[in-house]
Each structure stands twice: as C-alpha cells, then as structure tokens.
Amino acid sequence: RKEVEQDPGPFNVPEGATVAFNCTYSNSASQSFFWYRQDCRKEPKLLMSVYSSGNEDGRFTAQLNRASQYISLLIRDSKLSDSATYLCVVGALGNQGGKLIFGQGTELSVKP
Amino acid sequence: DTGVSQDPRHKITKRGQNVTFRCDPISEHNRLYWYRQTLGQGPEFLTYFQNEAQLEKSRLLSDRFSAERPKGSFSTLEIQRTEQGDSAMYLCASSLGGRSPYEQYFGPGTRLTVT
C-alpha cells in the first residue's frame, strides 16, 4: 500500500465549478499535511498547509479527518489558471523531520 | 533570483555514463533535499542534508547514487553508470529546518534522459 494515495484523475471541469480532491495516508501518527500544486513540467509549489480544524485560503479549503486518515482539498469557482496537478503531501516522522511523502497527484483541467 | 537553482536544467546521456547535478539552495536555508519524479508520479524522497551532514538516505538511492554537501551550501548528486530507469526529473528543495522543516522550496529540477 502506498503511504499517500490520491485519485490520479484527470478531473475535467468547466470554469466556475466546484471540485474536490481526496487523499488518504497510511501512517496514523503523521502530524503534518500539505497540498502542493505542480504546473506542467514545473516544480511543485506549496499551495497550503492542512490544519486539524480545517483551513481556508480564498477559494481553497483544506480539511483533515484524522480518524479516517483522509485529507481533502476543495476548490470553489474554479478558474482556467487552476489547471495543474495537485499533490497531497504528508510530512514523514522521525529523524528531525523534513522528508515529504507525496501522493501521485491529481490532474485538474478547467475548461472555458 | 534568490530561489533554489539547479544546474543543468536538462541532461541527455548515454547508458553507462556518469552524470552530476548541482543544487544551490536559498542562502539562509540549512536543509537541502533531493527528490526524484517520474512521469505521472509524485516526487519521491532520495536524501537530505542538514548543513553538511547527510541525515537520511532512501532505499531508492542505490550504490550508484551519491550526494554531497561539502560546505553546507550547494549540493551535488552524482549518478554512476546510468541506466535507462534513471531517466526522471531530479528536484532539489531547501528549508530552514527548525520549526519549519516541511516548508520546502523547490528548484526547477534537472531533467535527465538516459538513452
């Protein structure tokens, strides 16, 4: 079983749609969670951290369910510029931390 | 540009050749990470340094791979006797460590093609 699993998509949605991505992680002791965005042939960039109480940044909402080991990202009113791959990421434990464990990514294509 | 830089951006090599990549982290960052990404997959951790000390190596890092960060600044990743399976994007990232080890900034990557 992979440590972080995501539906690879692709998700094809019209502009203005709401889209949700889900992710599960295998290590119940994990403490740090993130969503990264990666444009085609570019490096990953941190989109947002995910906090236990859930958090929002403009049109983006991230939620964490520790009991189900489940992380979600909701994008409201999607824009053409949101087209990218969204990577679910868990911070590995131990050895002073720092290692990131990535899911395979979910591809989003927003169409006019 | 004060971000993470990597050199070269692209490398095409023949099977069996050695290649070396360089990463220059953000100057005040004491942690430096190497990841590898193949098509359709997320990045996979290879190794990381705190200053010049290599703190962890993945099982993905076979004997043909070696990484160094001799003065705690830039880092090099060398692959000896390249194989076609080594073709991938090699990403470098840096962070401040301390309370924010996971807040990593990635470089543009070195795309390796082994023919």
Q: What is the pLDDT of residues A56-83, one digit of tens each?
A: 999 999 999 999 999 999 999 999 999 9
- Two structure tokens written together for A25: 């992680």
What are the phi and psi torsion angles at B101 (to 5°)?
-65, -25
- Two structure tokens written together for B39: 């098509």
Locate tokens 């990218």: which residue?
Answer: A84
- Are A42 and B108 inside 8 Å of each other by CB? yes
What are the phi and psi torsion angles at B85 (to 5°)?
-70, -10
Give the separation between CA A107 and CA B18, rounded to whole angstroms: 34
Q: Does B77 touch chain A (CB under 8 A)?
A: no
Residue of chain B whose Cα is closest to the Cα of A97: B101
- Are A96 and B55 inside 8 Å of each other by CB? yes
The residues facing B10 across adjacent strands are B111
Confidence check: pLDDT of B100 > 80: no
pLDDT of residue B75: 98
The predicted model gives B93-102 an average pLDDT of 82
